[in-house]
Structure 1
Amino acid sequence: MKYRNALPQMNGTQMITDGGLETTLIFHDGLELPLFAAFKALESDKGLAAIDAYMTRFADLACRERRGFVMDTPTWRASARWAAELGLTQETLRAVHQETVCTLIRLRERFEHPQTSPFVVNGVIGPQDDGYAPSSTLTADQAEAYHCVQVGWFEEFGADMVSGITMTYADEAIGIASAAKSRNMPVSIAFTVETDGALPSGQSLRDAIQTVDDETDGYPAYYMINCAHPDHFSHVLKGDWTGRIMGLRANASRLSHAELDAADTLDDGDPQELGDLYAQLAHLLPNLTVLGGCCGTDHRHVAAICAST
């Protein structure tokens, strides 16, 4: 909880995130991740080594670039619905959250240079249903009740903040923000969009952000866009509301969500092109401080982003 009351990215400190953890583990490290659950890799020595090597690459990059590092827990699929499908008990799931937070705290102790490279422990919360095309949705109250367990664990075990990642509709984001508010946890919300720049629900990105802010009295510390190529959303970034977007975790691939879902090979795009596109997006997003990648990206892409911004 070192930065819980003063997130460095909120005072203008430039931060990186990691890239596409799950796609790296599957396509580069040859691991099987049932239900795309990265935390399942923690069950084997090979998986533990792969995640440690993966996070170490980004920690090294942050130190070299003299940027902070928002360190994500591998818990995007570690909520009750997915745990049940994986046959995990609540007790086991709680232990996963404790282990992942403690592991990142140890990583911080190894690498952090507080004056130049603050390392923030971020508890990742994924959607209750599919991250691209949910077959069912929750009300804001249902989402708060569902996600409050994870938020509580992250608060208990010492995370600095939590993030709702790959949100496809506003009500679930409202629930996550409300759960975080009830535990006094800073929270960021990352929406994903389709190739037309709108959320999978059809709502515009602008309306989704404004709806969450209206319903939570502006509680989220900031918003992000993730799991979409810059070409899919750059055209909608117009107006004062874009000041609420402080983070980008884009794909290097121009494939749609449906195409990514069906792909059996990795499309990792062009790291340098992605870096150049981030430089252009920085002119549209005046408060941009958190830069990383999503599906298909790795340390090469984030290094290119750092070089370009």
Structure 2
Amino acid sequence: MSPRPRILDGGTATGLQAAGIAIAEPWLTSAALRDAAGTDALVGVHAQFLRTGSDVLTANTFRANTRALSRMGVAEDEHADYVHRAVDCAVRARRDAAAPHALVAASVAPVEDCYTPALTPDRDALRREHRWMAGVLADSEADLVLVETQCTRREAVIAVEAAAERGLTAWVSFVVTAEATLPDGDALRDAARACVEAGASAVSVNCLPHAAVPRALELLGDLGVTVGVYPNLEDRAALDEWEHSTHSLPPALSPAAFADLAHGWATEFGLGFVGGCCGTAPEHISALAARRPAGATS
């Protein structure tokens, strides 16, 4: 592997489930933020990914937007505490794993559902809620904002703009179909270009089947910014394309097979970062990191 690409971590939900944290509605991954036992487990998940080769940690803010927290029954004056708690867990893991070089990326997900674009709120609501999140993150120790698993151009652009208004570094990542379009049928390249114009310094795709990766990456070239990928590694053969699952699914790829594919993508497309999301375990990250030349740094 080229020395250049950074290695992302794997699935936060996957790691929490392995640590014994139940991932169930309505809390899902935010269940780990409710008490000290949960945050300790989350720190352990982050630290394990660092120790096996990750140099970008995704803070567990995915389900910590104000809309989701309200549905969980969290009082409004406690919402920012959950965001800070999630970022602090990643920062603590970076310290515990003695990995000062690692970046902490605060996850910014769609305020509704990643796979159901029809639920995306209107522009005024999106601007209000993403500006709130950006403001909270600007007061945290996150190194960058990862606007991820986005299913509409409209929300992705607004989230990137909110981050840029606060002077935050923003990466953006889209979930796409097997045909490499957004779930609402929008063109991936057009959506990515709009986000670059809004201030994104990197574009990516995530939570897509590994077989769909090459086509998606072909569409992200020559936009003048860093490109990355972190696919879904779960075996989802028994599920519909966008069906949610709250129980642990086996990986569709072995660590060695994933490392071979990711190495190939990084080389062919000149990626700036590569990793995995759902179903990606520390063993997958370890196998990928082993492909990095001796002495290479990101």
Range class of TM-score, shorter chain: 0.7 to 0.9
In the TM superposition, residue 93 of structure 1 has moved relative to its aligned partner by 1.5
1:275 aligns with 2:275: no
Distance 1:261 1:160 in 2: 32
In the TM superposition, residue 228 of structure 1 has moved relative to its aligned partner by 0.9
* Identity over aligned pairs, percent: 24
Q: State TM-score, norm by structure 1.
A: 0.83
Distance 1:57 1:27 in 2: 12
Contact kept? 2:60, 2:87, Cα under 8 Å: no
Aligned to 2:41: 50
Q: Which runs of 5+ in 1 are unaligned?
A: 1-11, 63-67
Distance 1:30 1:40 in 2: 8
Q: State TM-score, norm by structure 2.
A: 0.86
Q: Which protein has the bigger helix share?
A: 1
1:306 aligns with 2:286: no
Instruction: Name which of 139, 150, 173 aligns with 2:156.
Output: 173
Paired residue type of 1:229: P
Change (3 A) 1:43 1:150: same
Matches within 5 A, 1:56-71: 56-62=47-53, 69-71=55-57
Contact kept? 2:196, 2:202, Cα under 8 Å: no
Change (3 A) 1:108 1:134: same
Q: Please report the RMSD computed on the Cα atoms of aligned residues, expressed in angstroms.
A: 2.5
Paired residue type of 2:229: L
Matches within 5 A, 1:133-172: 133-140=116-123, 142-172=125-155
Report the 3-state secondary structure (helix = DSSP H, G, I; strand = E; otherwise coil) of the residue aligned with 1:302: helix
Paired residue type of 1:152: G
Distance 1:230 1:211 in 2: 25
Contact kept? 2:193, 2:223, Cα under 8 Å: no
In the TM superposition, residue 260 of structure 1 has moved relative to its aligned partner by 6.1
Change (3 A) 1:232 1:156: same
Aligned to 2:83: 97
Change (3 A) 1:107 1:45: closer
Aligned residue pairs, count = 286
Aligned to 1:9: none
Aligned to 2:172: 189
Paired residue type of 1:248: V
In the TM superposition, residue 176 of structure 1 has moved relative to its aligned partner by 0.6
Contact kept? 2:5, 2:266, Cα under 8 Å: no
Change (3 A) 1:20 1:230: same
Instruction: Name which of 289, 292, 300 aligns with 2:272.
Output: 289
Report the 3-state secondary structure (helix = DSSP H, G, I; strand = E; otherwise coil) of the residue aligned with 1:238: helix
